[in-house]
Amino acid sequence: MPDGGPSGTTVPSTLLDPASEVGKKCHSIVEQVRDGKLRVAEAFRQIGEELPYELSDDERNAAMDSYFRILSKHELSRDAAAKRARPVPGTGGDKDPEPAEEDEPEPKRARGSLEDFLASAPWVVQQELSGKKLNASLEATANIIFHATRNLSQVKASLIGPGKPPFPDSEWTAMLQGRSVNFDNVLSNLYGSLGDEKHTQLNSELELVQKGASSSATRKVATFGEWHAAFNPYRNAVEYIFPHRSRELREYGRYIDGLFIALGDSPATHRRVVDFDKAIRTLVATRGDIELTDFTDLEYRRIEIQYIHGSGVGSGSGASSSNTTSKSKPSKSSKPGQSSTEPCRRFNRDEPHPADSCRYKHVCESCGAVGVPATKCKCSAAKRA
């Protein structure tokens, strides 16, 4: 939930954009503080004068609170840099400096520290001004990834224990670095040739060495069963590092199961679901501000339409035919036991029957919506209206 100020008021977007007139002036004031040309107190006063008079009290307080946090970061980083530069007694740093020649040029100002740079980095400023905060689960995930990335080898070593689930070493690394896990590698290493895994051991000179072939996947996830064979150890590994994500993974697993069942048993539709899952997990890992169960997110919905509902790029060879023929009658050439791309009539009449043994697609026969019979679909209600 946005938290731009004490009352949760969102900062107006015109104050967030450095390209806007007000935003440009405020960012310029912040830069003067960073360059040491302006004191924080004076900068805070000038920013208050630059804010539009028509802002409400809550909006003004929210904006001032955001800029106060940014300026406070500058103050803290500058104090830390000064402490690091302070000479240590006994090292010669407390000796009186030799007088400089009058014509000696003034030395260039040293570049700021990393903390000083990050305090005013454009993306950090935007994050502060946006007022948006991660939920508790995403915050916990980000915190673990932050520390794991800075001390990867130590964190990976600490994972070893009696409760550590089996998982490829390369994918432990990917997970700790906040990257998407490769299900092909999981399937290959856990159920395929174990020679693909790299093993670390001590040689005769007590040096760490790695043995094993390349970690490239020898098996590809393409079916419902193969996806489950990779997802289950993935879920165990994620819960081992991020136990707060247990409910998210459980709900997401049920969601993907439902897609496999609703779309039918053809290899083409299974591949679409597998590719959709890969795209969603990549999106979640890349952004870091959404979960696997944020079904209403706009980018999430776009990927769902691309792979599941539509015939866009990445939807697979069977995507187009499964939607464009949804209104036609079932093919007479379909033989018993074979899967069909046609919508199930009994499903659309909302008649109960076993979905796992049905060879027709459980989609709306009018619009192709997955898992929704025509009797309950919004498109039918719109026609009746």
Q: What is the pLDDT of residue 16?
A: 52
What is the rounded CA–CA span in Å between residue 222 and residue 269?
A: 10
Quote the pTM value. Answer: 0.54
Count of positions (residues) in the chain: 385
Query: Per residue in 277-309, is it b (16+ CB within 10 Å) or e — as a string?
Result: bbbbbebbbeeeebbbbbeebeebeebbebbbb
Q: For all residues of the chain together, what is the average pLDDT?
A: 75
Regions of the chain with pLDDT less than 50:
1-7, 93, 100-102, 104, 108-109, 194-215, 311-313, 315-338, 382
What whole-number percentage of the chain has pLDDT above 90? 35
Q: What is the pLDDT of residue 35?
A: 75
Q: What is the pLDDT of residue 348?
A: 85
